[in-house]
């Protein structure tokens, strides 16, 4: 069993990592950092200079920005962050931006006030440094690194202090804007502790996880109503899709998950519940579990515990993988949803561990080539594998230690996955970014 202090640490971790976000979290984190620096300056900057890690650049190049009518990329996110962003809103920084703010942001871009450079000194894969300059030559700076809302004071950074604005080492901004202490050291997680917590913690402590159901179901409904991105979700539940895929639980899981991703990647101004700083991971950890529970007639308690298991498994894996990596986040989040679905099928801890091994054996190596509308295809691949892995696991069928990177110990299998994603694929990550920034479509 888990000690009370362990339970409290895990509960705080869950609250911190499962938060609402509007838009892709990488450009939103950039907008958040710009908004904070602008607030420090106290006036609209004449110029904004950014230094960004390669992974931030990769994930912000092709994704829609909320409230911009379909505009994509970093410049509009930067301009909107400076003109209408509110840092107190965290990853919902652009929530209150108006159409007038959008028109002003377009003019700001046309005036060539924004410069963006690749950060080549700081090794963190999530690094954002912003320097804003006013008309009188005054400057202010802000820096985010490590996680999407973690403001830090870089050693060379000198921020003018203004009333009501604080940037401090070791503190992160929560989803509703408050500053919360970062815990010292990693949380004591293993797959067994995750399963134990999810299945035995008092239900009232976990009921907040239903907010992920509410937000992400609303995003899926919006994706079905409108024509977002590649419209994968709508295609799967169209007469064509039903004719090929049928109209069962499996096809509903795929279509509702991809509908939510279609909307988010196209820049729909709707909040989703994120996981570990990623809205797509939040969708992927939520929607398959929600749809399966609905179709399987599980109880509310079973749904709450399955969602907790799914989200917390994803958080556990991300702890050793890192916030951004060369490995597609849907591998992580769909592994969580496979655990949740296995639990909803009546699975034990042993069967949940089997589902994790099945997932790792299948999806390891799926690359991340940035946030973009086609992420819906990758989420659907991950979710499809999640269902198949759960189906095998519930029958005690699983990939064994005689095969590939799987070991008898499920936690060692997880760390083999994350080692490949965090270290083994570093060169792949650089190669992908090089391809993305030198495509023929970008020339001229």
Rg (CA), the chain: 21
Please tell me the distance from the alpha carbon of residue 69 to that of residue 223, in angstroms, as a whole number.
15
| Start-to-end CA span in the chain (Å) | 61
Encode pLDDT of 369-428 as tens digits.
888 889 999 999 999 999 999 999 999 999 999 999 999 999 999 999 999 998 899 888
Q: Which backbone phi and psi does 181 adopt, to 5 degrees?
A: -70, 135
Please tell me the distance from the alpha carbon of residue 99 to that of residue 68, in angstroms, as a whole number.
8
Q: Is the pLDDT of residue 225 over 90?
A: yes
Mean pLDDT lowest among 145-154, 201-210, 338-347: 145-154
**What pLDDT is stored for residue 1 in this prediction?**
80
Please tell me the distance from the alpha carbon of residue 263 to that of residue 241, in angstroms, as a whole number.
19
Encode pLDDT of 15-39 as tens digits.
999 999 888 889 999 999 999 999 9
Report strand pairing: 179-181 vs 171-173.
antiparallel
Q: Is the pLDDT of residue 442 over 80?
A: no
User: What's the average model confidence in pLDDT over 175-192?
Assistant: 53
Q: Is the pLDDT of residue 434 over 90?
A: no
User: What's the average model confidence in pLDDT over 231-255?
Assistant: 94
Please tell me the distance from the alpha carbon of residue 49 to that of residue 64, in angstroms, as a whole number.
22
Q: Is the pLDDT of residue 163 over 80?
A: no
Please tell me the distance from the alpha carbon of residue 31 to that of residue 49, in angstroms, as a whole number.
13
Encode pLDDT of 61-72 as tens digits.
888 898 898 898
Q: pLDDT confidence of 167, banded at 50, 70, 90?
A: very low
Contacts of 275 by beta carbon, 8 Å cutoff, 6+ apart: 17, 18, 281, 282, 285, 311, 314, 315, 318, 333, 336
0.75 surpassed by pTM: yes
Contact 369, 58 (CB under 8 A): yes
User: What's the average model confidence in pLDDT over 228-252?
Assistant: 94
Encode pLDDT of 188-199 as tens digits.
799 999 999 999
Helices 279-296 and 329-344: angle between axes, nearest 10 degrees: 20
What domains sit in the chain, N to C, each tagged with a CATH number? 24-175 (3.30.1330), 191-437 (1.10.4100.10)
Residue 203 is encoded by which pair of tokens?
């239900």
Please tell me the distance from the alpha carbon of residue 130 to that of residue 240, in angstroms, as a whole number.
48
């Amino acid at each position: 069993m888990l000690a009370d202090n362990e339970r409290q640490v895990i509960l705080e971790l869950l609250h911190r990592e499962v938060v609402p976000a509007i838009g892709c979290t990488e450009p939103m984190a950039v907008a958040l950092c710009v908004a904070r620096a602008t607030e420090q300056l106290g006036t609209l900057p004449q110029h904004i200079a950014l230094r960004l890690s390669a992974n931030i650049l990769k994930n912000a190049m092709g994704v829609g920005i909320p409230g911009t009518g379909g505009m994509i990329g970093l410049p509009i996110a930067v301009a909107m962050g400076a003109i209408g962003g509110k840092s107190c809103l965290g990853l919902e920084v652009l929530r209150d931006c108006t159409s007038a703010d959008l028109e002003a942001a377009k003019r700001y871009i046309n005036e060539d006030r924004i410069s963006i450079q690749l950060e080549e000194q700081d090794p963190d894969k999530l690094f954002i440094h912003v320097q804003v300059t006013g008309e009188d030559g005054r400057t202010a700076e802000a820096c985010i690194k490590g996680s999407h809302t973690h403001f830090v004071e870089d050693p060379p950074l000198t921020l003018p202090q203004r009333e009501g604005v604080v940037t401090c080492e070791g503190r992160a901004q929560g989803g509703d804007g408050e500053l919360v202490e970062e815990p010292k050291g990693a949380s004591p997680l293993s797959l067994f502790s995750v399963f134990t917590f999810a299945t035995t913690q008092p239900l009232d402590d976990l009921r907040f996880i239903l907010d992920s159901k509410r937000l992400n179901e609303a995003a899926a409904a919006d994706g079905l109503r409108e024509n977002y991105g590649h419209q994968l979700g709508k295609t799967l539940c169209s007469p064509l899709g039903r004719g090929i895929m049928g109209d069962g639980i499996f096809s509903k899981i795929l279509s509702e998950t991809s509908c939510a991703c279609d909307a988010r990647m196209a820049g729909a101004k709707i909040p989703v519940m994120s996981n570990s700083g990623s809205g797509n991971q939040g969708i992927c950890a939520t929607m398959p579990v929600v749809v399966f529970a609905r179709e399987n007639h599980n109880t509310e308690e079973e749904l709450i515990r399955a969602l907790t298991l799914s989200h917390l498994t994803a958080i556990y894996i991300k702890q050793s993988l890192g916030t951004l990596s060369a490995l597609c986040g849907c591998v992580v989040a769909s592994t969580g949803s496979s655990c949740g679905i296995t639990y909803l099928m009546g699975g034990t801890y042993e069967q949940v561990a089997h589902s994790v091994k099945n997932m790792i054996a299948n999806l390891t190596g799926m690359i991340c080539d940035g946030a973009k509308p086609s992420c819906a295809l990758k989420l659907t691949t991950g979710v499809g594998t999640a269902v198949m892995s759960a189906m095998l696991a519930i029958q005690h069928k699983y990939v064994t230690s005689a095969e590939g990177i799987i070991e008898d110990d499920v936690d060692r299998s997880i760390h083999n996955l994350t080692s490949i994603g965090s270290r083994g694929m570093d060169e792949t990550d650089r190669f992908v970014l090089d391809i993305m920034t030198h495509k023929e479509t970008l020339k001229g």
